[in-house]
Amino acid sequence: MKRWRWAALAAVCWVGCGEGGSLPGKDDTQQPATTTNPDGTVDLPNLPENAGGGGGTKPAEFRSLWPLTRGTTWTYRITDPTRGTFEKKVEVLGEQTVPETSMKAIAVRSTQPHLEELSWQLDMNGVVVRLREEDRKAGTLAEVTTWSPATVKALSQERAQGWSYSSDIRELTRLGDGTTEDKDKTYVWTVEAVNETVTTPAGTFPNAIRLKRARGDKDDAQPRTYWLVPGIGKVKEDGERLEELVSHDVKKP
C-alpha cells in the first residue's frame, strides 16, 4: 500500500437534502485521522478505460448495471440469519456535495427497519466507486466510513466473463463513541457468468451478470455475489444475507 496522506477534518459541507454529517469525538481538541486530502478531495482509484479490459460496450439504449439517475428506487426482500425477513428500500437522491470534502457525487439512501445508510457514489469508466457512507440508527448518526482510494461498489458497464479487478484500499471508520478503526483491505472483483437466468419476487431475468467480490487479503472472509441486470441494476445479492428484488422504478437519463 502506498503511504496515505493525513489531514485535519474539514467542516461538514452538505447541500440539497439537508443530510450528512460527522460524528463528535471524545475530545474536540483532537484531530482524528481522515481519508480526505488537505485540498478537500478524496483519492480515486486508477481505473483505465473498461477498468482493465474485458469487452465492455456502450450501446445507445440504457443498459446501466447500476443506474444512478435521480429518483430511481428499488425495494428488496432481505433474508437475514439473525434479523429474519424484512424489506429494504434504496433511493437515488441525486448529485450532492460529499460531507467533509470539496467533491460532488451521487447520494444514495438505503432504508431498513433498523438502519438507514447514506452513501456517495461515482461512476468511473463503467465502475461505480463509493467515497463515503453514513449509518444512522433510530435517527442518530452512529458510524461514518470513508475510503482511500474510493472503494469499488459495483459495475455499471457490462463486462465479459472472466473479467477481474483487484483494489487495495484504506478503510477508516469513525464510531459513535468517538473511536476510529483504520484498516487496509484488498477486494477482488470477478465476473463469474454472463447471460445467467435469475428469479426473484420481481420476476425472472435471463440476462444477468454474476459478479463476485472476495477478499484478497483474508482467505476466511465470506465472499459476496451480485446479479446485475442491464437497465435495472442489482436484482439479487448473496453472502452474509440474501437480498432479492421485489420492485423497481428506474428513471432513464
Cβ neighbours, 10 Å, residue 199: 12
Domain boundaries, the chain: 49-55+67-249
Q: What is the per-residue pLDDT for 44?
A: 94
- Which pLDDT band, with edges at 50, 70 and 90, does 220 fall under? confident
Mean pLDDT value of segment 187-193? 97
Mean pLDDT value of segment 81-94? 98
Lookup: cell for 97: 456535495
pLDDT at 149 over 70: yes
Residue 130, SS3? Answer: strand
Looking at the structure, give the CATH architecture of the domain made up of residues 49-55+67-249. Beta Barrel (2.40)
Lookup: cell for 228: 446485475
User: Are 193 and 161 in contact, with CB atoms under 8 Å apart?
Assistant: yes
Per DSSP, which regions of 37-156 are E strands?
Answer: 73-80, 84-97, 104-111, 116-124, 127-137, 140-155
pLDDT at 172 over 70: yes
For the chain, percent of residues with pLDDT exceeding 90: 75
